[in-house]
Amino acid sequence: MASKRASSGDEQQKLSPSGLPVRQIPGSYGVPFFSPLRDRLDYYYFQGAEEYFRSRIARHGGATVLRVNMPPGPFLSGDSRVVALLDARSFRVLLDDSRVDKAGTLDGTYMPSLALFGGHRPLAFLDGADPRHAALKRVAIRLAAARMCHVAPEFGAALAATLEGVEADLAASGAAEFNKHNMRHMLDFTCAALFGGAPPSKVLGDGAAAKAYKWLAFQLHPLASKAIKPWPLEDLLLHTFRLPPLLVRRDYAELTAYFADAAAGVLDDAEKADPGAIPRDELLHNLVFLAIFNAYGGYKIFLPHLVKWLARGGPELHARLAGEVRAVVPAGGTITLAAVERMPLVKSVVWETLRVNPPVEFQYGRSREDTVVESHDAAYEVRRGEMLFGYQPLATRDERVFHRGREFVPDRFAACSDDERRRLLGHVVWSNGPETGEAAEGNKQCPGKDAVVAVGRLMVAELFRRYDTFAASVEENPVEPVVTFTSLTKAAVAAGHGDGGKA
Sign, Cα dihedral of 193, 198, 202, 208: negative
> How far apart, in Å, do the first and last CA atoms of the chain sit?
62
What order of strands is seen across the sheet that includes strand 371-374? Answer: 22-23, 379-382, 371-374
Establish whether 446 is an annotated binding residue: yes
The helix/strand count (H/E) of the chain reads as 19, 14
| Residues recorded for the chain | 503
70 and 382 Cβ atoms separated by less than 8 Å: no
**Left if phi > 0, otherwise alpha if psi is -120 to 50, otherwise beta: which for 119?**
left
71 and 35 Cβ atoms separated by less than 8 Å: no
Amino acid sitting at position 226: K
321 and 171 Cβ atoms separated by less than 8 Å: no
Q: How far apart are CA 49 and CA 55, in angstroms?
A: 10
Q: Which residues pair with 177 in a beta bridge?
A: 484
Longest dimension (CA), the chain: 84
455 and 440 Cβ atoms separated by less than 8 Å: no
Q: How far apart are CA 279 and CA 270, in angstroms?
A: 10
Give binding residues for heme as ranges. 446
Give binding residues as ranges. 446
